[in-house]
Structure 1
Amino acid sequence: MDLFETSESDAETPRLGDGLHWPEVRGWLQTHPQTLLDDRSLLEEIGLRPHGRNVVEFGAAALTRLEAVVERETGARREIEMIARANFAAQTQTHVATLDLLEARNHSDLARRLDAAAQGRFGLAAAAIALEKPGGVPFGWRPLDPGAVDSLLGEHGLTWLGPAFEGLDLFGAAVAEVKSVALIRMAPHLTPGEPPRPSLCAFGSPDPEGFTPTMGCELAAFLARVVERMAERWPVLN
């Protein structure tokens, strides 16, 4: 006799031998599930994957977490790529601006070229060179009172980045456009036989978040060093 038989009255309902019907077997298995779970060989024969009694599958939840991790990593990778492209573009513009500065013919031309590079290559509102008195101040440079650099940057400060503030008279006609600034200390040797003179290389951004205290200013500092070395080419007589 076959294990499964079909009754004449109900051809769609399988019937087990010895008069057992599938609904009865199904109900018994529902009330005694551990009997089937403990029979690992039977489970393998009918194509089911057996698990231990304490194993709980989290397939869907794990997949959801994995998808979230992949999405975060993809977003982070895109952000890193965007930052890398922006940094590369800024470095390229810095190199080109450096070549422009190296073509300066005098102090006034140096200040003009710095301002033009800041606006044309970096989208800033202005750039300026400021020099403390006493002593001569080249045309196109901004004069500063003695001790002004230390008061702006601190006695040992090298840079200052943050919002524009009143009294910072460095950017001439563009002062109303400047919302944030980067100030870099310089100390060029401008007069033969005299000590270096405190000075500033200043950049003004039209964006309030253009320069912030947490921002790195390596490229701006690099341009300031170029300006400092270029300024030493021509003497400033007292």
Structure 2
Amino acid sequence: MSDGARIKTLDTAPDLAALRDLIRENGALLRDDPELLADLGLRLDAANLVDFGPAALARVAATAKRESKARRMLEATARANFSAQAQTHAAVIDLLEARNHSDLVRRMDEVATLRFGLTGAAVALEGPMRVPAGWYPLVEGQVDLILGPQKLARMGFHAPALGLFGDKAANVKSMAMVRLAIWEPARQGVLAFGSPEPEGFTKDMGHELVDFLGRVFERTAERWPVL
């Protein structure tokens, strides 16, 4: 069909409101045309009223099934989010009870394994000065190499970060990592969570809860100076 013919067809198409009025005023034309009713997925019932035919009922059933599936997915997502938030709030209480830097990183690792079912958590810190027991030392600029320059967080598998997990590295299939800045002047660091599942953390996931735990870790760690 040429563009001219197509434009002419659109210009001469009947107005939808007028078409409705026409059908209402001439209902008998629709009821007396079995082929048209069949094309529309309709049929006449015993009382001579237009009723849904099998095709129409199938479409309604399919729509209801899709809506039910979408509702179940939304409900499951809401339950998962609520559970994750509840576990995160409980984790904060655990972290705030830490007695020193070593106890803090131990508690973070327990939060990861016991509350979230992960392989574990690790904390690494840049700088020439010593790091607390249980923390991993990094050279200056290594945080940018792990996360990416100026990036706050990184989700998904990233092989250069496996070394952060020590003897647990073989069981880490994906990671969630967030940048830390502790003390004044700030020392750059990384808080990393490892998952045993390749899809445990993926690049398209949000990192709000991980970032929140990172901020809690920073503030708690600043209670004590590095000796």
| TM range, smaller chain | 0.7 to 0.9
* TM-score, length basis structure 1: 0.74
* Contact 2:125/2:135, CA 8 A, preserved across alignment: yes
User: Which amino acid is 1:210 matched to?
Assistant: G
Hey, what's the Cα distance between the residues in 2 that align with 1:143 and 1:202?
Answer: 14
C-alpha deviations, 1:183-220, integer Å up to 9, x for none? 1001011xxxx410000110000001111100112111
**Residue aligned with 1:214, SS:** coil
Q: Are 2:116 and 1:122 aligned?
A: yes
User: Which amino acid is 1:73 matched to?
Assistant: E
**Residue aligned with 1:183, SS:** strand
Which ranges of structure 1 fall in alignment gaps of 5 or more residues?
1-48
Instruction: Choose the corresponding residue for 1:168, options 162, 176, 181.
Output: 162
How many equivalent pairs are there? 185
* Contact 1:164/1:178, CA 8 A, preserved across alignment: no
* TM-score, length basis structure 2: 0.77
Indicate how the Cα distance of structure 1 residues 167 and 103 shifts in structure 2: closer, same or farther if over 3 A, else same: closer
- Deviation, 1:77, is 0.2
* Contact 2:144/2:150, CA 8 A, preserved across alignment: yes
Q: Are 2:80 and 1:103 aligned?
A: no
Aligned position for 2:212: 222
* Contact 2:146/2:161, CA 8 A, preserved across alignment: no
Aligned position for 1:50: 28
Percent identical among aligned pairs is: 55
- Greater percentage in helix: 2
Which ranges of structure 2 fall in alignment gaps of 5 or more residues?
1-26, 42-51
Hey, what's the Cα distance between the residues in 2 that align with 1:95 and 1:232?
Answer: 20
Instruction: Choose the corresponding residue for 1:200, options 187, 190, 204.
Output: 190
Higher CA-based Rg: 1
C-alpha deviations, 1:83-129, integer Å up to 9, x for none? 11111111111010110000001100000000001000000001011
Hey, what's the Cα distance between the residues in 1 that align with 2:213 and 2:86?
Answer: 13
Aligned position for 1:132: 126
Aligned position for 1:20: none
